[in-house]
Amino acid sequence: MAAMPLDAHRITHDLYQGSSHSSLRAVRHARFSVLVLCAQEIQPPRSALPGLHVIRCPIDDGESVPPEDWRLAQRAGERVAQAWRGGHRVLVTCHQGWNRSGLVSAIALHSLTGRDGCTCAAQVQRRRPGALRNRAFVEALCSRLR
């Protein structure tokens, strides 16, 4: 049985965003050293992800961004930026690779570049087709990251 291809798009150099449907083999083959898991419903045990540094950010893809989800996403985005600065290749995932991963990727971009949240959200949307369709996430990025 062939491994599923990597379902991910490059957001910026060594920072990618994608769905959780990629196989572990594809993730390893693409030389990722950091894997971010943003889907509440997809949080495999550490033993299932050997050789990867895992950042867990289990948030909901709802019609709002509760304060606890924003804090988790912000912390994960800062950890992504820190790993990236340390020379790591990072893959940020959620179920479809659109909203929750987009939120964390945009926060990481903000941390890395200092650009405002709307600009970072737009870059994620340009780079990953279908990303950040959740209006609540985009509104949170635009209003909270200036």
Token pair belonging to 119: 């600009």
The domain ranges of the chain are 8-144
* Predicted confidence (pLDDT) at residue 8 exceeds the cutoff of 60: yes
* Predicted confidence (pLDDT) at residue 138 exceeds the cutoff of 50: yes
C-alpha 43/C-alpha 36 separation (Å) is 10
pLDDT of residue 5: 81
143, amino acid identity: S
**Burial classification of residue 125, based on how many CB atoms lie within 10 Å of its CB (0-12 exposed, 13-18 middle, 19 or more buried):** middle
C-alpha 70/C-alpha 132 separation (Å) is 15
Count the neighbouring beta carbons within 10 Å of the beta carbon of residue 144. 14
* Predicted confidence (pLDDT) at residue 4 exceeds the cutoff of 90: no
pLDDT of residue 1: 42
> For residue 37, what pLDDT band results from cuts at 50, 70 and 90?
very high
**Model pLDDT for residues 104-113, shown as the tens digit of each residue:** 999 999 999 9
Mean pLDDT of the chain: 95
Q: What percentage of residues in the chain have a pLDDT greater than 90?
A: 92
Which CATH code of 3.90.740.10, 3.90.190.10, 3.40.50.170, 2.60.40.10 fits the domain covering 8-144?
Answer: 3.90.190.10
**HEC-encoded secondary structure of 42-109:** CCCCHHHCCCCEEEEEEECCCCCCCHHHHHHHHHHHHHHHHHHHCCCCEEEEECCCCCHHHHHHHHHH
**Model pLDDT for residues 54-100, shown as the tens digit of each residue:** 999 999 999 999 999 999 999 999 999 999 999 999 999 999 999 99
Average pLDDT over residues 131-145: 98
